[in-house]
Amino acid sequence: MTIQAATSVCIIGSGPAGLLMSQLLANAGIENIVIDRKGRAYIEARVRAGILEQGTVSAMREAGVADRLDVEGIPHHGLDLAFEGASHHIDIVGLTGKTVVAYGQTEVTKDLFVKRTQQGGRFYFDVENVVLSGLKSDRPAVNFRHAGQDVEISCDYIAGCDGFHGVSRNAIPANVLKTYDRVYPFGWLGILTERPPVSMECVYTNHPRGFSLCSMRSATRSRYYIQCDSNDDVANWSDDRFWDEFAARISPDLAAKLQTGPSFEKSIAPLRSFVAEPMRYGNLFLAGDAAHIVPPTGAKGLNLAVADIRILVRGLVERYARGNTHHIDTYSQKVLARVWKVERFSWQLSNLMHQFPDHSPFEKKMQRAEFDYLMQSEAASRTIAENYVGLPLD
């Protein structure tokens, strides 16, 4: 026997994008159900991004989940780029009038879960065998197995917020879907440690030994990264080995401030750029990592997903409140135009700040020339700043 359920919007994926969409729709009185192949505890524990653009902060406030963010978030007024001993500070407030905020994605997820649970949000966790059907009909359906029973959710729209490995993107026919991919020849080895950060703003460094990043999650919790081989194994990296390598890649001034200690999370993330087109098929909409991946350089992943959601929710509110389908009809075109600009920025910054094993001496000189130009040009610094704080939605 199949359990039947109905709603206006079925959201696949309960990461920050799916949860934020659920909350914003609920605020507008639009019914929705969220499903996920993982359990809530696993989802809340995932360690991801930590820098929020002003637009993401605004979306959290609009959703009514920014109380803790406004107290614990650490505003960043600038960032530092370093290249083989040279350093350049980018005053993002002075150049754009905006800031970004350090606040972990894990905390964003927790805040959204609390709000949705308090308001009686409808969830199905640990689902299996998810199948999307009737995508070009007026009432598409999502079928899956949950707690030993078959479930079918009929809805007006499906939002695929289920990440790169989810089912949503693959529900678009192969003769319709186009993908664009760039896999980088390295990854990021990252750790979390309960130690004060060496800097209260991010420091990106291109060192002959490889890239490094000084970041943080709070005034007492640091998040540090180093470039590593994409095929490396995290088991090869003891805490002591990481600290030695990290200290060698940052400036002597920062190394003198570095407080080492045990890590409580350590992982290697591969770097890739990926875009899928279109981001709408029938009444299925893709958002976030289901449609695009950016390298973590520049902290765009979560923020790009939130921008997708804000545009999609605006379109759905217009459709339900006024019967106006213009915004959902133009969703894919509008969002992809923005996605490619963000992809360009993440690709550009990644190319500048990493050591590429296959770079020729000429390409290495070009890297340095680009950095030298950045140090001397306010216009170039403004371009970095404008992209770092987040491009406008329209």
Give the catalytic positions in this structure.
Answer: 76, 204, 296, 300, 388
Give dist(CA 298, CA 185) in Å, integer.
18
Report domain extents, the chain: 2-74+101-179+274-352
pLDDT of 217? 87
Please state the rounded mean pLDDT for residues 45-68: 91
pLDDT of 44? 84
Q: What is the pLDDT of residues 110-167, one digit of tens each?
A: 999 999 999 999 999 999 999 999 999 999 999 999 999 999 999 999 999 999 999 9
Q: Kindly state the DSSP code that residue 47 receives in the 8-state scheme.
A: -
Q: What is the pLDDT of residues 228-239, one digit of tens each?
A: 998 999 999 999
pLDDT of 39? 92
Give the pairing type, strands 100-102 and 149-154. unpaired
- Nearest residue to 128 via CA among 167, 102, 157: 167
State the pLDDT confidence band at 98, using cuts at 50, 70 and 90: very high
Residue 46 has pLDDT above 90, yes or no: no
Beta-carbon contacts of 256 under 8 Å, excluding residues fewer than 6 positions away, are none
Beta-carbon contacts of 244 under 8 Å, excluding residues fewer than 6 positions away, are none
Q: Kindly state the DSSP code that residue 45 receives in the 8-state scheme.
A: H
* CATH architecture, domain 2-74+101-179+274-352: 3-Layer(bba) Sandwich (3.50)
Three-class DSSP category at 33:
strand
Across the strands, what pairs with 10? 33, 158
Task: Check if the beta carbon of residue 327 is closer than 8 Å to that of residue 311.
Answer: yes
* Burial status of residue 300 (CB atoms within 10 A of its CB: 0-12, 13-18, 19 or more): buried
Residue 41 has pLDDT above 80, yes or no: yes
- Nearest residue to 277 via CA among 172, 347, 146, 369: 172
Task: Tell me the average pLDDT of the chain.
Answer: 96
pLDDT of 45? 81
pLDDT of 50? 84
Please state the rounded mean pLDDT for residues 362-371: 97
Residue 361 has pLDDT above 80, yes or no: yes
The total of other beta-carbon atoms located within 10 Å of residue 232's CB is 13
Q: What is the pLDDT of residues 177-216, one digit of tens each?
A: 999 999 999 999 999 999 999 999 999 999 999 999 999 9
Give dist(CA 302, CA 342) in Å, integer.
12
pLDDT of 1? 84
Q: What is the pLDDT of residues 256-288, one digit of tens each?
A: 999 999 999 999 999 999 999 999 999 999 999
Beta-carbon contacts of 100 under 8 Å, excluding residues fewer than 6 positions away, are 51, 52, 53, 54, 75, 76, 92, 299, 388, 389, 390
Share of the chain above pLDDT 90, in %: 95
- Nearest residue to 369 via CA among 86, 80, 79: 86
